Amino acid sequence: MIELDESPTMVTVGASLFADALSAQVASPLQVQWAPPVPGSDADLAVIAADGRTHAASAESVRRLTAASPRWVDVVPAREALGLGPREFLHAGPPVAWADASGPIRGALAGAMIYEGLAENFEEAGRIAAQGGISLEPCHSRSAVGPMAGVVSASMPVSVIEDEENGRRAYCTLNEGLGKVLRYGAYSPEVIDRLRWLERVLAPLLGATLRKRGPVDVRSLIAQALQMGDECHNRNRAATSLLLREITPDMLESGARSEDIVAAFRFINGNDHFFLNLSMPAGKVAADAGRDIPGSTMVVAMARNGTEFGIQVSGTGDEWFTAPAPPVKGLYFPGFGPEDAGLDIGDSTITETTGIGGFAMATAPAIVLFVGGDVSDALENTLRMYEITLAEHPFYKVPILGFRGTPTGIDATLVVRSGVLPAVNTGIAGREPGVGQVGAGLVVPPMSVFVDAARALARRAAPQGAPGRSESRNQ
């Protein structure tokens, strides 16, 4: 008989290979292996590299982004929070006119017009919109973000996210749940009825709960959820669970009608994506903290409207760099296939912009069952993103990588220089208005938007030691 004084050592070759490979990578920084820069971009990259401001400006951008402390403080009507007029509508992605709008955006706009009492049906809404009877603006232009079509109208309630560091605010609608929903371009009566329930029952209850309990620390919830298998873009099951634990006691004591409280709990409980509409504005308020620093090459927005994919960069203000929206490679719901799919859409890429979502897929291996691929893809996505980012997030950690911070703060010039594009996972909307979600998958952003951003950064670059060439920060 033998008694061991301590834990026996490894006895399998395979296991130790795995553990060794892991420890080696956890213990030391990844070796960086540059690919040649995108042809034609060398001159721009050289000018930016010679700009004495670049390094410090980008470092300050990502410092501000990662220092943000987003808190959920209230739920109020969009007309109040965003100053939206009765005929003003926001949408996801870079600017787009009705004539160029994708099916999901048209469907969602029509639904929002019906909801606001501006139209009776899709056809009437389309006529009014085509005649310029409504005004369209990106969510991003009003400190807001919207998943998928991202349509916001005056009566819709929005969550208010406040950065405790600097008082800045960002906004997002409440998540409507699954199935036929406005954000995927559906506009049937059940969709409109649900929007009214959100406005009349859920929003006042959540607002009252938050005012009673005080702010919910969204950064802490994301940090915990990343240790519980979420990446907080397409997997939010842990975060939604933790959120319910945070708010339920005060919801119960809010003084609201008991049947409304039960309905609210069941509604949130029935939709694991509920938290997405908080992780998105949490990202927005953090990314906005890093905006408008002359010389900074950090991406502060990536967003798509189903027609175009666009980015904004800190050093180039509100300018959008756009290219045609790419298709999504993924898994389809039963009854749908690639021929039913719209192009890439939504502001939810704000998650990747701020170090979670596709950038944190190593925290969420189970997500491959939803978006496709296998577990090693999830790990590789995260590891690859360290190549193009400015920092490792101080609060968002990847347990399986030895609690390394998630790769955070995309450097547009590193993307161009390395040829590595941001890893994005996403839902897939039906291409026609009215259909809804048809699947989920992975998308590769167009390289040209990063090349164009580098060109614009180069145009504004200051010679070494001199101030920047550009007078105005907004074009």
Map the footprint of its own copies across residues 353-372, applying CB under 8 A: 365-366
For residue 216, state whether it binds its own copies (rule: CB under 8 A).
no
Q: Which is nearer to its own copies, 22 or 49 (CB)?
A: 22
Q: Which of 48, 92, 191, 261 binds its own copies (CB under 8 A)?
A: 261
Selected from 421, 429, 435, 440, the binder of its own copies by CB under 8 A is 421
CB 184 within 8 A of CB 436: yes
- Window 64-103: residues binding its own copies (CB under 8 A): none
* Chain centre to alpha carbon of residue 305: 13
| In the complex, minimum distance from the CB of residue 397 to its own copies, in angstroms, rounded to a whole number | 9
The 3-class SS string of 342-354 reads CCCEECCCHHHHC
Q: Which residue has the tokens 């409109």?
A: 192
Q: How far is the CB of 28 from its own copies (least distance, A)?
A: 8
Interface with its own copies (CB under 8 A), residue from 43, 127, 253, 463: 253
Q: Is 411 in the site for its own copies (CB under 8 A)?
A: no
Neighbours of 237 (CB within 10 A): 17
Residues 6+ apart with CB under 8 A from 374: 368
Of 138-146, 281-289, 378-386, 428-436: span binding its own copies (CB under 8 A): 378-386
Give residue for tokens 């708010």: 247
The DSSP element (H or E) to which 157 belongs, if any, is strand 157-163
- Give the one residue of 121, 262, 466, 469 binding its own copies; rule: CB under 8 A: 262
CA 322/CA 431 separation, integer angstroms: 20
Residues 218-247 that bind its own copies (CB under 8 A): 224, 227-230, 237-238, 241-242, 244-245
Q: Which residues pair with 310 in a beta bridge?
A: 303, 322
**Nearest distance from residue 446's CB to its own copies, in Å?**
6
Least gap, CB of 205 to its own copies (angstroms): 14
- Distance set, CA 42 to CA 37, 38, 47, 281 (Å): 7, 8, 9, 35
Binder among 451, 453, 456, 462 for its own copies (CB under 8 A): 451
Among 42, 80, 100, 374, contact with its own copies (rule: CB under 8 A): 374
Judged by CB under 8 A, the number of residues near its own copies is: 82
Task: Decide if residue 11 touches its own copies (CB under 8 A).
Answer: yes
Please say which residue, 57 or 361, places its beta carbon nearer to its own copies: 361
Site string for its own copies, 329-348 (x = CB under 8 A): x-------------------
Q: In angstroms, what is the minimal distance from the CB of 455 to its own copies?
A: 10
User: Within positions 12 to 71, which residues make up the interface with its own copies, using CB under 8 A?
Assistant: 12-26, 30-33, 35, 38-41
Residues recorded for the chain:
475
66 contacts 393 by C-beta, under 8 angstroms:
yes
Q: Which range in 76-84, 200-208, 256-264, 282-290 contacts its own copies by CB under 8 A?
A: 256-264
State in angstroms the smallest separation of the CB of 358 from its own copies.
Answer: 11
Closest approach of its own copies to the CB of residue 256, in Å: 12
Matching residue, tokens 């941001």:
422
Residues 155-214 that bind its own copies (CB under 8 A): none
DSSP 331: E
DSSP for 255-317, written as a single string: ---HHHHHHHHHHHHT-TTTTHHHHHHHHHHHHHHT---TT--BEEEEEEESSEEEEEEGGGT
Q: Which is nearer to its own copies, 158 or 451 (CB)?
A: 451
Task: Give 245 or 469: the residue with its C-beta nearer to its own copies.
Answer: 245
Which amino acid, one-letter code, is at 101? A
- Residue 291 contacts residue 298 (beta carbons within 8 Å): no
Alpha carbon distance 224, 373 (integer Å): 25
Torsion (CA) 232, 234, 238, 243 in degrees, nearest 10: 60
